Amino acid sequence: MLKLTIALFVVVMESVSSDGSGVCENNIDRLCEISVKRCHHHHDDDDDEEKSFNPPKHALKLSAQKLLDSLPLDRVKDNAVRTVKRCVFSPSQPTPLRGKVQLAAVSQDVLKNILDLDESVTRSEDFVQRVSGGKLFPGSAPLAHRYGGHQFGYWAGQLGDGRAHLLGEYTNRKGERWELQLKGSGKTPYSSLALSEEAVWRDQFYNGTVRRERGAVVLRLAPSWFRIGSLEILARTGELDILRTLLNFVIEEHFTAIEPSDPNKYVRFFSVVVNETAHMIAKWMSVGFAHGVCNTDNFSLLSITIDYGPFGFMESYNPNFVPNSSDDEGRYGIGEQANVGLFNLQKLLEALHPVLSPHQRAQAERTLRGYPEIYHRSFHDLFKAKLGLLGDDEGDAYLVAFLLKLMEDTHADFTMTFRQLSDVSLLELQKNSITQTMWALWDLSSHDYFSDWVELYIKRIKSQVGDSEENRHHRMRGVNPRYVLRNWMAESAIRKAENNDFSEVVLLLHTLTEPFVENENAERAGYSSRPPAWASELSVSCSS
């Protein structure tokens, strides 16, 4: 459905850090040398500790050697918050959690199919320590990435991994390479907040009302964590030699269809990013996903969905849906995402300007002008598929727009309207014999023009020679999820987790791993039912 970063392990603890980043401060120097020297806190028993790590079936060994050999490191070894110059990464050790540490949830799919691990490994206390930052996996070389970015339209300067640590890369048995990163793992030179309380205090709505919350660490995976802001900061500070080095590294490692010796490789790279970003945002729209914070530091160079904080899946269809309560102007509302994508790509092009010739800049600008067409074609094709339409018809765009207008007017649920259209028969639509069990379609059918839309839709479906209702239903169920992460579902899981009951976290993880497949436990939990009344009172912010 979407190319997302993957959270494998979620670890929570009883007490949290004094720097407000989700871990506890301690009196031991956290800065370890990446080379031969070893920090006694992370490596109490040196090699004996690594030998003791012997999980069933497979031992996870990482490598950061390619990053260390190819990209410049921060020469300052102090982990203090500061302005960092002339590097891509800063060595920075995770801060071990203090107090009781619990493994809250594990993605079995990622565990087995990406990391080649047996499920029994999760029962090892040693392993829990490693996925929470208390110990390091063999081969780890923790790094914090330096980047900048435009936030809400304005240049924000140095940002960077303020509470995240890249541990290294794992190459699995299929030859896939995945970077493992801890989130919430302690202070780095890029941290922006330091507190002295022994808790995580959050002011969710920035109104002076703070509350104490338990901290957590997530081990997440992505093919790469480089983003538009990774290049922007180097262009902004005039570090053009490092800009070229990083660009060459990204192209050679992740854009392998581009020849490293091609004199136009940067233009070709930009063209791929433009194309893939347009497709990514169209896919967001097709499932009603609003990222929430579409800053350039949150936009991946690989066009994968990263750093989605106060995100939301639209419930009642609303083209102006804004998931982030901190976004007063609605800059990152769901209907603005395509435009914001164009803005971010323009900033990427500006970062590339110093390494492009005038002719190459003109080429890249022509490429960028093609972005709207790429986006609209992708959006059109995805929504046609959601309606089970085959081939092309000049009335298809109108059919989609007509339906969305009916949904807007009736406040019909976005996800379940399309899912229930995947289940309803044409005869039921024609006779308008929809029951309240199909609650989203029931709401939609109250519109005065619903029958007009149905007439057009049935005519279009019947024009598909050789297509059957069974085949149409099968296609539509494969692109219209039955389950998405709604705020009320997350809130329910959070309330239980605060009392050490992670059962709903596990249920959500299992359900959302296969969102197109009807799940008995998910049905029992009401995940495809009409949202409860209290759901409308929920909101999220950048501090949620």
- 148-151 and 143-145 as β-strands: parallel, antiparallel, unpaired? unpaired
**Whole-angstrom Cα distance, residue 167 to residue 160?**
15
Query: Amino acid letter at 336?
Result: E
Q: What are the Cα distances from residue 474, in Å, to 369, 421, 422?
A: 37, 11, 8
Q: What are the Cα distances from residue 395, in Å, to 218, 389, 457, 466?
A: 46, 11, 10, 20
Rounded to the nearest 10 degrees, how much is the dihedral formed by the CA atoms of 525, 528, 530, 531? 60
**Whole-angstrom Cα distance, residue 187 to residue 80?**
8
Alpha carbon distance, N-terminus to C-terminus of the chain? 25
Tokens at 294, concatenated: 């579409």
Residue 279 CA to its chain's centroid (Å): 15
Catalytic residue among 19, 297, 307, 443: 297
In 3D, which of 450, 453, 455 has the Cα closest to residue 410?
450
User: What are the φ/ψ torsions at residue 284 (nearest 5 degrees)?
Assistant: -55, -50
Query: Amino acid letter at 432?
Result: N
Residue 23 neighbours by CB distance under 10 Å: 31
Specify which residues 166 forms β-bridges with.
143, 181
Element of type H or E holding 252: helix 240-254
Active site residue 19: no
Query: Can you tell me whether residue 44 is helix, strand or coil?
Result: coil
Write out the catalytic residue numbers. 297
